[in-house]
């Protein structure tokens, strides 16, 4: 179940707020997408196919509520040919918002982004990653929340009570790309006796001055990143969601063509070794190259986790080197090449992405992912035959 | 010497200086005359406080094929500095809900943020890119950004006529070193003191683009706003038409509406 008892009052409250404005106009926007995936290598994993077809739709319904409020509902639906874990309905948002001059209240299921880096966002702890979307970490599950935002002259204070935890999605037995072992999401373990009903809390302060954007946060509750444990009863690997406290900062300096970015966190908990983790790097852009209008950006980021191989993060001592090309033409043609190298084990994750618009409503996106694993215990091991090509055609409305 | 006579002497000095200045201004240099006209154009727009408008942009390629973009914009006047502005994109559909925020500055670098609705992410972006195309059009970012007197140095070229109107021609050289232009020639309508035509010269000083501005309307009995702009690229044959509508003034916008947090709740 994606919602439990504590979030029900939130939804009822939101529904009540909306019903009082039944006459309000509803604005919609969204997309319908057809996705084709190809896996050139035969998988060594059982029950997997070398191609996959999938359809998805996400529709945002927005309505203003009274003078200073709004309600947003964003259902997301995917139907997948081979992976039952991917075929599902999720409420990305079901959120009532109230705006005042110096504060804002958000109640319901919401989506929040914290962070500045491109490779990974260590400080981004509010929402759970929707891993089966095969979209880096940008796809997220809607998070039950009560959020109060205080707008001060010097910056903002964001306070969160998060009644209810969402488990990460993992590819099922027919899903690709996946590791050799299927993660058994039906038997997840929790450190807290309250399991997914544990109430998490978080706070963030942020400010911008001159070329600096700075944020600092604290989070206490269930880690969005699980550890993995072998469950002898079902002889399967299950996610183990532990309790932790995370404090961290995120900083960006915007200096003409240079963007300097750092996210630093420190985590403590009974089930983990206390540790620091860092992502830090730069992005340099060449603008309007030879008066063509095109921009080329170079991204370099170092990801580090003090726990080394004990880390439950894929990137514990890795470097991203990326190139981003934007033609800034009528079709918004863009390309992105990213190479993440594991400095400890030598494995590499190579991604190549391209997108462009056709007409005014259709967008095509191509994504190629190559796993190069040098040693068996590299973070990318088990993915050797999971190289894939993904083509997506989306109609936007 | 007592205080009173000292004051009188000062007043006398001011009077003499004033008379001298008046003589000098009659024999103004082209640079002074250019700055004077540019300042007058800017000055008549002082006090608009804030404004909102809607814009349709039509991109026309060399073979005449058209594509459309739609956006809305909000501007907040800032005294003694560049204005704050926000643009909300409605079309093409894949960028619907994307919004950009600019705090422009007369001399310092502008501050710029972009909101990506699918990720709920506000990104601080570099404002260095002034010469690149805006939304794939023939307008560069610097063509549509807040026009401040200090962003150029000026030279008066003489008077001329454009579509039956007497105009001043002013050469403007961008102060910004990464501008895409060596110079612009602004054609200023003498009666309304608004630009009706702009010629742009590229980094090699070759004619690059010609902008014609018309369908001016006066708002609040004071502020002239164009209804239509036509930018013709002389080198590629492509052109872009901007059409403005739904102008509103003094709607009560404040600094808080131009905060990076406000990007997330704007519709």
Please state, in angstroms and rounded to a whole number, the distance separating the CA atoms of residues B197 and B162: 8
Supply the pLDDT for residue A180.
81
Is B26 domain-assigned? no
Supply the pLDDT for residue B1.
42
Is B53 domain-assigned? yes
- Closest chain B residue by Cα to residue A256: B128
**Hey, are the CB atoms on A29 and B121 less than 8 Å from each other?**
no
Residues of chain A in contact with residue B119, where contact means CB-CB under 8 angstroms, are 113, 138
- Interface membership of B148 toward A (CB under 8 Å): no
**Hey, are the CB atoms on B92 and A357 less than 8 Å from each other?**
yes
pLDDT tier for residue B3 given thresholds of 50, 70 and 90: very low
**A111-148 as b/e, with b when 16 or more CB fall inside 10 Å?**
bbbbbbbbbbbbbbbbbbbbbbbbebbebbbbbbbbbb
**Hey, are the CB atoms on A31 and B94 less than 8 Å from each other?**
yes
**Hey, are the CB atoms on B136 and A332 less than 8 Å from each other?**
yes
- Interface membership of B114 toward A (CB under 8 Å): no
- Closest chain A residue by Cα to residue B108: A210
Is B30 domain-assigned? no
Is A98 domain-assigned? yes
Among B97, B124, B260, the residue with its CB nearest the CB of A29 is B97
Among A101, A256, A359, the residue with its CB nearest the CB of B128 is A256
Among A97, A291, A293, the residue with its CB nearest the CB of B202 is A291
Please state, in angstroms and rounded to a whole number, the distance separating the CA atoms of residues B130 and B140: 7
The percentage of residues in chain B with a pLDDT greater than 70, rounded to a whole number, is 90
Is B21 domain-assigned? no
- Closest chain B residue by Cα to residue A99: B265
Among A138, A287, A329, the residue with its CB nearest the CB of B128 is A287
Please report the beta strands in B92-135, taking only residues with DSSP state E, as ranges in sequence order: 99-103, 111-116, 121-125
Residues 164-203 of B with CB under 8 A from A: 178, 180, 202-203
Backbone angles phi, psi at B37, to 5 degrees: -70, -45
Q: Which tokens go with B61? A: 């390629």
**Hey, are the CB atoms on A104 and B91 less than 8 Å from each other?**
no
Containing B22, the helix (H) or strand (E) segment is helix B3-26
Which residue in B88, B122, B132, B202 has the most chain A C-beta atoms within 10 A of its own C-beta, making it the best mutation to test that interface? B132
Neighbour count for residue A152 (Cβ, 10 Å): 11
Is B75 domain-assigned? yes
Supply the pLDDT for residue B80.
82
Residues of chain B in contact with residue A394, where contact means CB-CB under 8 angstroms, are 94
**Hey, are the CB atoms on B59 and A104 less than 8 Å from each other?**
no
User: What secondary structure does DSSP assign to B32-69, as a single string?
Assistant: HHHHHHHHHHHHTTTT--EEEEEEEEEEE-TT--EEEE
Q: Which of A250-259, B103-112, B183-192, B208-217 has the lowest mean pLDDT?
A: B103-112
**Residue whose C-alpha is closest to residue A200's, from A126, A105, A95, A122:** A126
- When divided into structural domains, chain A yields a total of 1
Cβ partners under 8 Å of residue A227, min gap 6 = A239, A240, A242, A271, A272, A312
- Closest chain A residue by Cα to residue B91: A360
- Interface membership of B206 toward A (CB under 8 Å): no
Neighbour count for residue B128 (Cβ, 10 Å): 21
Residues of chain B in contact with residue A97, where contact means CB-CB under 8 angstroms, are 265
pLDDT tens digits, A14-39: 555 555 555 568 999 999 999 999 99
Which residue in B67, B93, B127, B133 has the most chain A C-beta atoms within 10 A of its own C-beta, making it the best mutation to test that interface? B93
Residues of chain B in contact with residue A123, where contact means CB-CB under 8 angstroms, are none
**Hey, are the CB atoms on B129 and A285 less than 8 Å from each other?**
yes
- Interface membership of B97 toward A (CB under 8 Å): yes
Is B35 domain-assigned? no
Give the residue numbers spanning the domain of B248.
41-265
**Hey, are the CB atoms on B131 and A332 less than 8 Å from each other?**
no
Residues of chain A in contact with residue B131, where contact means CB-CB under 8 angstroms, are 287-288, 291
Among A256, A295, A332, the residue with its CB nearest the CB of B109 is A256
Which residue in B89, B120, B135, B143 has the most chain A C-beta atoms within 10 A of its own C-beta, making it the best mutation to test that interface? B120
Give the residue numbers spanning the domain of A11.
7-396
Return contacts of B95-99, CB within 8 angstroms, 24+ apart.
B96/A29, B96/A396, B97/A29, B99/B263, B99/B266
- When divided into structural domains, chain B yields a total of 1
Residues of chain A in contact with residue B68, where contact means CB-CB under 8 angstroms, are 360
Residues of chain A in contact with residue B128, where contact means CB-CB under 8 angstroms, are 256-257, 285, 287
Is B6 domain-assigned? no
- Interface membership of B72 toward A (CB under 8 Å): no
User: Within chain A, which residues score under 70 in pLDDT?
Assistant: 1-24, 374-381
CATH number at residue B244: 2.50.20.10
Highest mean pLDDT among A361-375, B2-16, B38-52, B197-211: B197-211
Contact A390, A24 (CB under 8 A): no
Is B18 domain-assigned? no
- Interface membership of B67 toward A (CB under 8 Å): yes
| B262 to chain A, closest Cα gap in Å | 10
**Hey, are the CB atoms on A360 and B67 less than 8 Å from each other?**
yes
Is A2 domain-assigned? no
- Closest chain B residue by Cα to residue A357: B94
**A20-54 as b/e, with b when 16 or more CB fall inside 10 Å?**
ebeebeeeebbbebebebebeeebebeebeeebeb
Asked whether the predicted pLDDT for residue B140 surpasses 70, the reply is: yes
- Interface membership of B228 toward A (CB under 8 Å): no
Sign of the CA dihedral B69, B70, B76, B79?
A: positive
**Hey, are the CB atoms on B132 and A31 less than 8 Å from each other?**
no
Asked whether the predicted pLDDT for residue B238 surpasses 70, the reply is: yes
Torsion of CA A179, A182, A184, A190, to 10 degrees: -20
pLDDT tens digits, B49-100: 999 999 999 999 999 999 999 999 999 999 888 899 999 999 999 999 999 9
Is A370 domain-assigned? yes
Supply the pLDDT for residue A12.
60
| A129 to chain B, closest Cα gap in Å | 12
ipTM of the complex: 0.90
**Hey, are the CB atoms on A360 and B92 less than 8 Å from each other?**
yes
The CA angle A234-A239-A245, to the nearest 5 degrees, is 150
3-state secondary structure of B210: strand
CATH number at residue A52: 2.40.160.10
Residue A107, classified by CB atoms within 10 Å of its CB into exposed (0-12), middle (13-18) or buried (19+), is buried
**B52-91 as b/e, with b when 16 or more CB fall inside 10 Å?**
bbbbebebbeeeeeebebebbbbbbbbeebbbbbbbbbbb
Contact A322, A299 (CB under 8 A): yes
pLDDT tier for residue B18 given thresholds of 50, 70 and 90: low
């Amino acid at each position: 179940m994606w919602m439990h008892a504590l979030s029900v009052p939130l939804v009822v409250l939101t529904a009540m707020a909306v019903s009082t404005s039944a006459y309000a106009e509803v604005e919609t926007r969204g997309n319908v997408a057809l996705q084709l995936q190809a896996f050139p290598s035969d998988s060594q994993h059982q029950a997997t196919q070398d191609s996959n077809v999938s359809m998805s739709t996400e529709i945002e319904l927005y309505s203003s509520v009274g003078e200073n409020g709004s309600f947003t509902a964003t259902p997301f639906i995917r139907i997948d040919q081979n992976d039952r874990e991917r075929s599902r309905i999720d409420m990305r948002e079901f959120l009532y918002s109230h705006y005042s001059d110096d504060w804002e209240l958000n109640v319901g299921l919401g989506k929040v982004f914290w962070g500045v880096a491109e490779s990974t966002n260590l400080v981004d702890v509010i929402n759970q990653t929707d891993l089966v979307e095969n979209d880096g970490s940008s796809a997220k599950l809607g998070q039950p929340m009560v959020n109060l935002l205080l707008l001060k002259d010097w910056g903002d204070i964001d306070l969160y009570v998060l009644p209810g935890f969402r488990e990460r999605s993992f590819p099922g037995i027919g899903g690709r790309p996946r590791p050799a072992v299927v993660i058994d999401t039906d038997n997840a373990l929790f450190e807290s006796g309250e399991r997914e009903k544990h109430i998490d809390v978080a706070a963030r302060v942020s400010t911008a001055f001159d070329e600096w954007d700075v944020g600092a946060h604290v989070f206490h509750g269930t880690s969005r990143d699980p550890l993995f444990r072998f469950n002898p009863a079902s002889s399967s690997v299950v996610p183990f969601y532990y309790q932790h406290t995370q404090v961290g900062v995120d900083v960006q300096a915007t200096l003409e063509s240079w963007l300097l970015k750092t996210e630093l966190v420190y985590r403590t908990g009974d089930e983990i070794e206390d540790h620091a983790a860092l992502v830090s790097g730069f992005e340099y852009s060449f603008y309007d190259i030879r008066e063509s209008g095109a921009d080329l950006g170079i991204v370099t980021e170092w990801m580090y986790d003090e726990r080394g191989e004990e880390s439950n993060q894929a990137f514990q001592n890795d470097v991203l080197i990326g190139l981003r090309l934007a033609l800034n033409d009528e079709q918004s043609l863009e390309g992105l090449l990213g190479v993440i190298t594991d400095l400890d084990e030598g494995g590499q994750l190579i991604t190549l992405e391209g997108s462009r618009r056709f007409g005014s409503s259709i967008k095509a996106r191509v994504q190629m992912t190559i796993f190069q694993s040098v040693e068996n215990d590299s973070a990318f091991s088990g993915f050797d035959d999971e190289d894939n090509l993904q083509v997506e055609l989306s109609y936007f409305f | 010497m007592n205080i009173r006579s000292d004051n009188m002497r000062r007043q006398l000095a001011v009077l003499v200086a004033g008379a001298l200045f008046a003589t000098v201004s009659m024999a103004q240099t082209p640079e002074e005359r250019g700055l004077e006209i540019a300042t007058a154009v800017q000055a008549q727009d002082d006090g608009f406080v804030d404004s909102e408008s809607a814009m349709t942009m039509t991109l026309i390629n060399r073979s005449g094929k058209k594509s459309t973009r739609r956006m809305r914009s909000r501007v907040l006047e800032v005294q003694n500095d560049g204005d704050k502005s926000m643009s909300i994109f409605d079309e093409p559909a894949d960028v619907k809900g994307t919004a950009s925020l600019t705090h422009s500055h007369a001399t310092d670098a502008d501050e710029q943020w972009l909101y990506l609705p699918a990720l709920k992410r506000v990104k601080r972006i570099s404002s260095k890119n002034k010469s690149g195309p805006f939304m794939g059009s023939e307008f560069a970012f610097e063509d549509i950004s807040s026009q401040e007197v200090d962003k150029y140095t000026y030279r008066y070229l003489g008077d001329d006529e454009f579509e039956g109107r007497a105009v001043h021609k002013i050469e403007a050289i961008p102060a910004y070193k990464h501008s895409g232009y060596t110079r612009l020639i602004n054609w200023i309508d003498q009666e309304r003191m608004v630009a009706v035509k702009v010629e742009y010269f590229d980094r090699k000083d070759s004619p690059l683009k010609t902008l014609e501005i018309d369908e001016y309307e006066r708002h609040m009995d004071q502020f002239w706003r164009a209804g239509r702009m036509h930018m013709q690229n002389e080198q590629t044959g492509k052109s872009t038409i901007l059409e403005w509508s739904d102008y509103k003034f003094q709607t009560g916008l404040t600094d808080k509406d131009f905060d990076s947090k406000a990007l997330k709740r704007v519709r």
